Chains A and B, each alone.
Chain A
Amino acid sequence: MTGLRGQYFDGRSSLRHPVELQIGMDGRLRVTGLAEVREYRLSETEVSERIGQTPRTLRFPDGSACQVLDNDAIDAALEALDTTSVQHDVHRLESQWSYAVVALLALVAIVWAGIQYGIPAAARHVAAIFPPRADALIGTQALELLDHGYLSPSKLPPERQQQLREKFAAITRDLDDAHQYRLEFRQGGELGANAFALPSGIVVMTDELVGLAQADEELEVVLAHEIGHVVHRHSLRMLLQNSATSLLMIGLTGDVSSASVLVASVPTALVQAKHSRQFEAEADDYAYAWMDRNGISHRYFGEMLSRLEKKYGGAEAGALSWLSSHPRTAERIRN
């Protein structure tokens, strides 16, 4: 018999009754100190889990409850009767600093691996569920928005446009993936020499970029790079990865409110930038493979990138490269 001191509440009023609690080896619980002695079976008593040094509650079938501060005595009694739960093992993990440190290290490793490999792989598999036609649904208004805010109609002669469209058609001719490939020309304005792909298969190239090129091959490899984004469905995958990253950060910081949003937004931005660089590298792979298939020298891509970097300044080196959406130019140029 173990004698435990507790506070008994009958569940009908807030009056506190100091009682003594005895847990017998027969699995019976005796509460003394009330008007009459009460007996409950341990098997029909709900014992709350141990969490830190907080008091335990023993909830009895009649709605009454007893709070006990002596956690060790309760656990000893439960253990003697062989009725501890899985959650008690969680308490054991929570009570040691060494386990906490191991948990922290494991968490860092898992989160890192998840961001590096897990989320991208999962997004690729989920993207495969959606038919390629679904890509066209993403950002349908994107080009209209750009036309409204940044771009203006191309001043490139129609013959030149036609010439480049034929080259574009040659690159996309053998692709059989339900995307509607089309090349559009615009004046870049603030965006300068630039090219980008919309998920539906429309590739937009600015007059400034055409002007910057010294050989048509340079434009072709840029087009191949943009087509790589479409073929690998980067818009859809980015959408999926960003949602997964946001959910992960919400889960890690615990809530979506107040100051933690600020704290979580920085790593979220870093992860999204990292994923963006992974996509750029994948599009580069596609462009290099296309060059190899068509016997075009790698130097065209390198020269185009170098010229762009010289004109606009490349992706930042050093600390800011973590926030950049593109890999460093030096890393992108391959021999």
Chain B
Amino acid sequence: MEAQSADAAAPGSESPPDSSTTVEQFRFTGSGGEYFRIWIVNLLLSVVTLGIYSAWAKVRRMRYFYGNTHLAGDVFEYHGQPRQILKGRLIAFGMFLVYFIVSAISELAGVLLALIFFFFVPWLAVKALTFRARMSSYRNIRFTFEQDHHGAAKVFIGFAMLVGITLGLFYPYFAYARYRFAINNSSYGKARLNLFAGPGVFYWIYFRAALLYIAAIAIGLAVFRLWSGFGIDVLGDPKKFSSMLPRLVIVFLPLLLFVGAFLNKCLQNATLGNVTIHRHRLLSGMQTGRLFWLYLSNTALIVATLGIFIPWAHVRMAQYRFERLALEARGSLDEFIAGESQASAATGEEISDMFDVDLGL
């Protein structure tokens, strides 16, 4: 790690140190209407081709979001190739099918398969993060990811097992280690990214989120009891439960979305907001209230429009995320140097897409 951070500083030493600090604001310029048309046409083509075209659709969607993300006058670019992504999707689809059938036939075999998959996660995480980094560029300089399989095994197997052994008390450290792994192995060109927040920040976040969660459940139960006259015991009575379901959703969904907004805001600010690259650093200033409102209104509108609102929801989220993200630049952004290029298979990212492996970043 030490040698690499020295390497990252190398480009700066070529020009005289520049202490002038400017704040470059990220900007997302996509529009919901434009994205809706792209989304619906590509969705139709994907369905008509029985999913084959979905790889091309994904590339177009990614290119739309990258190409509308501005920083200091230039946009990001996505380089994923549809054929590569299709190959990954076919493998992921095959694995998904095997897992689904096996676990339906025998729960024991399903658990065994999931266990095998668990030991496969570090490799998958490295592949997915490498793919994502390699397929992203800014100013024609690609991002790269160090293939640290040893570090991945430590985090995704060792630390993940410690979470189980400590009954979850270790989880904040695990979350911290995951972000650290994903960020500190990433480079923009030759410049290494560095997360400078420590594990304490994550313990503080999860402690407050847990308290908030308990408070939300208590408030929810009280409101639900006032409204319907029932307590928690409706969960055990299928008949009462199904007739009370709408009220349960109306009471608990906003409360849980609020807890989710708080947690995600904290995590985003603690990770992206504490990253340095070269002599620059990122600034993230998300707010719980705004994020909660986005979650709530997006969910309500997606349900009310039977899903048609999905593209607008994606665009609104991206707008807000980048509105609250900035780069504090010490000196020029013109000095980044490209790293060596290497190919990366898309399989990792596509499989993790389907199995929803939470990689954090």
User: Which residues of A are at the interface with B, using a C-beta cutoff of 8 A?
Assistant: 7, 9-16, 48-49, 51-55, 57, 64-65, 67, 87, 90, 93-97, 99-100, 103-104, 106-107, 110-111, 114, 137-138, 140-141, 239, 243, 246-247, 250-257, 259-260, 262-263, 266, 320, 323
Pair B64/A52 contact, Cβ less than 8 Å? yes
Q: Which residues of A lie under 8 Å from residue B107 when comparing CB positions? A: 141
A10 to B38, CA, bound (A): 31
A251 to B34, CA, bound (A): 21
3 A-B pairs with the lowest CB-CB distances in the bound complex, closest first? A54-B67, A9-B140, A14-B336
Which partner residue on chain A sits nearest B309 by CB separation?
A263
| Distance of B243 from chain A, by nearest CB (Å) | 9
Q: Which residues of A lie under 8 Å from residue B51 when comparing CB positions? A: 251
Pair B60/A49 contact, Cβ less than 8 Å? yes
Name A103's contact: one of B35, B44, B96, B307 (CB within 8 Å): B44
Q: Which residues of B lie under 8 Å from residue A93 when comparing CB positions? A: 41
Pair A51/B67 contact, Cβ less than 8 Å? yes
Pair B60/A90 contact, Cβ less than 8 Å? yes
Q: Which residues of A lie under 8 Å from residue B353 when comparing CB positions? A: 255-256
| Distance of B201 from chain A, by nearest CB (Å) | 23
Q: Which residues of B lie under 8 Å from residue A53 when comparing CB positions? A: 29, 34, 68
Pair B101/A51 contact, Cβ less than 8 Å? no
Q: Which residues of A lie under 8 Å from residue B64 when comparing CB positions? A: 51-52, 54
Q: Which residues of B lie under 8 Å from residue A14 when comparing CB positions? A: 138-141, 189, 333-337
A37 to B30, CA, bound (A): 34
Q: Which residues of A lie under 8 Å from residue B44 when comparing CB positions? A: 103, 106-107, 110
Pair A138/B105 contact, Cβ less than 8 Å? yes
- For residue B269, CB closer than 8 A to chain A, the reply is no
List 25 contacting pairs A-B, 8 Å CB cutoff, sorted by A. A7-B74, A10-B140, A13-B141, A14-B333, A52-B30, A52-B64, A52-B67, A54-B68, A90-B45, A94-B38, A99-B41, A100-B36, A100-B40, A103-B40, A104-B308, A107-B43, A110-B47, A110-B48, A111-B47, A141-B107, A251-B47, A251-B51, A252-B307, A260-B302, A263-B302
Pair B68/A12 contact, Cβ less than 8 Å? no
Pair A100/B140 contact, Cβ less than 8 Å? no
A57 to B78, CA, bound (A): 11
Q: Which residues of A lie under 8 Å from residue B30 when comparing CB positions? A: 52
The residues in B between 28 and 86 inclusive whose CB is less than 8 angstroms from any CB of A are 29-30, 34-38, 40-48, 51, 54, 56, 60, 63-64, 66-68, 73-75, 77
Pair A251/B54 contact, Cβ less than 8 Å? yes
Pair A263/B299 contact, Cβ less than 8 Å? yes
From known contacts A14-B336, A137-B105, infer whether A99 and B68 are also in contact, taking CB-CB under 8 Å: no
Q: Which residues of B lie under 8 Å from residue A96 when comparing CB positions? A: 37
Pair A251/B38 contact, Cβ less than 8 Å? no
The residue in B60, B106, B299 that gathers the most chain A C-beta atoms within 10 A of its C-beta is B60
A97 to B40, CA, bound (A): 11
Q: Which residues of A lie under 8 Å from residue B139 when comparing CB positions? A: 9, 14-16
Q: Which residues of B lie under 8 Å from residue A239 when comparing CB positions? A: 101, 104
Name B38's contact: one of A9, A51, A106 (CB within 8 Å): A51
A247 to B337, CA, bound (A): 43
Q: Which residues of A lie under 8 Å from residue B41 when comparing CB positions? A: 90, 93-94, 99-100, 103
Name B299's contact: one of A87, A103, A106, A259 (CB within 8 Å): A259
Pair A253/B74 contact, Cβ less than 8 Å? no
A106 to B41, CA, bound (A): 10
Q: Which residues of B lie under 8 Å from residue A256 when comparing CB positions? A: 353-354, 356
Name A13's contact: one of B37, B75, B335 (CB within 8 Å): B335
Q: Which residues of A lie under 8 Å from residue B356 when comparing CB positions? A: 256-257
Pair B334/A16 contact, Cβ less than 8 Å? yes
The residues in B between 190 and 229 inclusive whose CB is less than 8 angstroms from any CB of A are none
A253 to B303, CA, bound (A): 12
A96 to B353, CA, bound (A): 31
A55 to B104, CA, bound (A): 48
Pair A55/B75 contact, Cβ less than 8 Å? yes
From known contacts A90-B42, A96-B37, A251-B51, infer whether A52 and B68 are also in contact, taking CB-CB under 8 Å: yes
| Distance of A88 from chain B, by nearest CB (Å) | 12
A93 to B43, CA, bound (A): 12
Which partner residue on chain A sits nearest B334 by CB separation?
A15
Q: Which residues of B lie under 8 Å from residue A254 when comparing CB positions? A: 310
A237 to B100, CA, bound (A): 14
The residues in B between 1 and 41 inclusive whose CB is less than 8 angstroms from any CB of A are 29-30, 34-38, 40-41
Q: Which residues of A lie under 8 Å from residue B68 when comparing CB positions? A: 52-54
| Distance of B86 from chain A, by nearest CB (Å) | 14
Q: Which residues of A lie under 8 Å from residue B250 when comparing CB positions? A: none
Which partner residue on chain B sits nearest A257 by CB separation?
B356
Pair A95/B37 contact, Cβ less than 8 Å? yes
Pair B298/A259 contact, Cβ less than 8 Å? yes
A289 to B17, CA, bound (A): 89
Q: Which residues of B lie under 8 Å from residue A247 when comparing CB positions? A: 93, 96
Q: Which residues of B lie under 8 Å from residue A12 when comparing CB positions? A: 337-338
A254 to B30, CA, bound (A): 18
| Distance of A305 from chain B, by nearest CB (Å) | 20
- For residue B287, CB closer than 8 A to chain A, the reply is no
Q: Which residues of A lie under 8 Å from residue B302 when comparing CB positions? A: 259-260, 263
- For residue B295, CB closer than 8 A to chain A, the reply is yes
A67 to B74, CA, bound (A): 9
Pair B335/A51 contact, Cβ less than 8 Å? no
Q: Which residues of B lie under 8 Å from residue A103 when comparing CB positions? A: 40-41, 43-44
| Distance of A132 from chain B, by nearest CB (Å) | 15
Pair A49/B242 contact, Cβ less than 8 Å? no
Which partner residue on chain A sits nearest B68 by CB separation?
A54
